[in-house]
């Protein structure tokens, strides 16, 4: 029986209370079994109370309007501050991805930094669909002297349970402890969960005390990430992974994390707060796939490679096309103040350029946005 049916039976036949939160418009993991229709199914039940959250605290009004136009359906979202202004630009760079990357480095990044006092590189994100696109932009950023944090298949290490837990421990130590984000109890629970078998009550208390003492002793608003990771590995992580064979793959990613933070590594000099990733690194631009960007937010979002054949892929089924549209929507809604969409009108092919035009999502959005604003 599918997991969601088991949950339904527990809730509606077994008397277990169910509280579900989600946004079906951000269902972008169909390849992993995610199905936003399940939320709609729940919301339509007579014995379920649906509460719709329509006040958007992140984005300016123009971006919210554009997001609904991108979906092609009204959702009734409204901005917290209707007076906030936003920039949405559609830019053709006919020279391909390299041309797009040059435009980002030479024009968009300097303009974004100058547009708002106090804005940093960490407030800017470059989003793309496939990691090979990230390679092009990583090269251009490096050549221009910009540091970046990359979250895709070409990142220095993968986001696995242990590396994500270490990042969250860093976030707690770098000031998160004041606001309880992340919560210490949650870090302890996750740390205990890495062990096979259920620990005794005495052992669970011992593990909790050891982690609490370690984290409390490493609280620092400033400081480099590398010494912190070295300490948490030496004190906690390495002894655990040496005794838990099931963590072998995760141990390798922790090793890669240390390697990236070391002298000469891709993340050399990264500070503790930036490793925590809660607010981004003020000295690093964010390079992410559209899938990796889900849940994140930035002042300025630059969506690149917005060409037919890449967004969406060619010959997608109707279901795949709907998911690609939702992926486009996710990218657009990461932005607080500005969205730039770059395209070339062609993609590389085995026998040369395939001139398929820009993404139909971009085409539709620009036309719909212009028509909506003309009618005002």
Looking at beta carbons, which pairs linking 113-116 to residues 24 or more positions away fall under 8 Å? Answer: 115/337, 115/338, 116/299, 116/337
Please give the Cα distance from 82 to 58 (Å, whole number).
Answer: 12
pLDDT at 14 over 80: no
Higher pLDDT among residues 38 and 358, named by residue: 358
Please give the Cα distance from 355 to 260 (Å, whole number).
Answer: 39
| pLDDT tens track for 310-344 | 999 998 999 999 999 999 999 999 999 999 999 99
Residue 351 domain-assigned?
yes
Give the Å distances, CA to CA, from 51 to 21, 136, 145: 10, 43, 47
Residue 153 domain-assigned?
no
Residue-level pLDDT at 196: 87
Residue where a domain terminates, one of 276, 306, 322 = 276
Are 246 and 331 found together in one domain?
no
Give the Å distances, CA to CA, from 349 to 6, 93, 95, 354, 363: 46, 18, 15, 6, 22
pLDDT at 253 over 60: yes
Are 122 and 167 found together in one domain?
no
Residues whose CB falls within 8 Å of the CB of residue 203, separated by 6 or more in sequence, listed in order: none
Are 166 and 251 found together in one domain?
yes
| pLDDT tens track for 104-115 | 999 999 999 999
Are 133 and 185 found together in one domain?
no
pLDDT at 278 over 50: no
SS3 189: helix
Q: Which domain holds residue 168?
A: 161-276
Residue 25 domain-assigned?
yes
Are 298 and 257 found together in one domain?
no
Are 119 and 219 found together in one domain?
no
The distance from CA 326 to its chain's CA centroid, rounded to whole angstroms, is 14
> 332 is written with which tokens?
């657009």
Are 185 and 140 found together in one domain?
no
Residue-level pLDDT at 310: 94
DSSP 315-363: T--HHHHHHHHHHHHHHHTTEEEEEEEEE-S-EEETTEEE---B-HHHH
Are 32 and 125 found together in one domain?
no
Question: Range with the lowest mean pLDDT among 17-21, 97-101, 145-149, 277-281?
Answer: 277-281
pLDDT at 245 over 50: yes
Residue 318 domain-assigned?
yes
Question: What's the pLDDT band for 345 if we cut at 50, 70, 90?
Answer: very high
Give the mean pLDDT of the chain. Answer: 89
Residue 333 domain-assigned?
yes
Helix axes 184-193, 161-171, angle to 10 degrees: 160
DSSP 206-263: HHHHHHHHHHHHT--SS-BHHHHHHHHIIIIIHHHHHH-GGGHHHHHHHHHHHHHHST
Are 243 and 290 found together in one domain?
no
* Structural domain total, the chain: 3
Residue 155 domain-assigned?
no
Please report, for the domain that includes residue 290, its CATH number.
3.40.50.300
Strand stretches in 8-100, DSSP E: 55-56, 78-79, 87-92
Are 66 and 116 found together in one domain?
yes
Residue where a domain terminates, one of 276, 311, 329 = 276
Neighbours of 284 (CB within 10 A): 22
Q: Which residues pair with 148 in a beta bridge?
A: 285
SS3 181: coil
Residue 152 domain-assigned?
no
Are 270 and 297 found together in one domain?
no
Contact 274, 284 (CB under 8 A): yes
Residue 14 domain-assigned?
yes
Residue where a domain terminates, one of 215, 247, 276 = 276
Please give the Cα distance from 250 to 257 (Å, whole number).
Answer: 11
Please give the Cα distance from 348 to 367 (Å, whole number).
Answer: 26
Are 183 and 235 found together in one domain?
yes
Residue-level pLDDT at 279: 46
pLDDT at 125 over 90: yes
């Amino acid at each position: 029986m599918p997991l969601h049916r088991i949950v339904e039976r527990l809730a509606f036949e077994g008397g277990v209370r169910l509280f579900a939160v989600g946004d079906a418009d951000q269902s972008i993991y169909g390849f992993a079994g995610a199905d936003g229709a399940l939320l709609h199914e729940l919301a339509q039940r007579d014995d379920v109370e649906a509460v719709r959250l329509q006040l958007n605290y992140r984005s300016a009004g123009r971006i919210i309007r554009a997001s609904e136009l991108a979906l092609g359906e009204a959702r009734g979202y409204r901005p917290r501050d209707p007076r906030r202004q936003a920039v949405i630009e559609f830019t053709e760079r006919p020279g391909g991805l390299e041309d797009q990357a040059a435009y980002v480095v030479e024009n968009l990044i300097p303009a974004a930094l100058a547009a708002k006092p106090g804005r940093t590189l960490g407030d800017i994100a470059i989003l793309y669909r496939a990691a090979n696109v990230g390679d092009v932009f990583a090269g251009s950023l490096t050549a221009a002297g910009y540091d970046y944090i990359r979250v895709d298949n070409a990142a220095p290490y993968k986001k696995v349970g242990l590396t994500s837990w270490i990042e969250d421990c860093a976030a707690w130590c770098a000031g998160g402890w004041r606001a309880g984000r992340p919560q210490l109890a949650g870090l302890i629970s996750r740390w205990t969960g890495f062990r096979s078998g259920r620990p005794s009550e005495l052992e669970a208390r011992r593990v909790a005390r050891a982690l609490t003492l370690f984290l409390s002793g490493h609280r620092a608003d400033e400081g480099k990430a590398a010494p912190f990771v070295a300490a948490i590995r030496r004190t906690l992580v390495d002894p655990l992974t040496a005794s838990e064979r099931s963590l072998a793959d995760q141990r390798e990613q922790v090793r890669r994390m240390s390697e990236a933070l070391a002298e000469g590594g891709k993340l050399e000099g990264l500070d503790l707060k930036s490793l925590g990733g809660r607010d981004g690194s003020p000295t690093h631009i964010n390079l992410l796939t559209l899938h990796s960007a889900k849940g994140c937010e930035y002042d300025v979002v630059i969506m690149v490679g917005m060409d037919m054949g890449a967004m969406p892929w060619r010959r997608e089924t109707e279901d795949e096309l709907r998911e690609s549209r939702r992926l486009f929507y996710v990218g657009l809604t990461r932005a607080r103040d500005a969205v730039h969409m770059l395209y070339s009108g062609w993609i590389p092919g085995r026998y040369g350029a395939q001139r398929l035009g820009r993404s139909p999502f971009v085409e539709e959005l620009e036309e719909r946005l212009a028509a909506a604003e003309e009618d005002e």
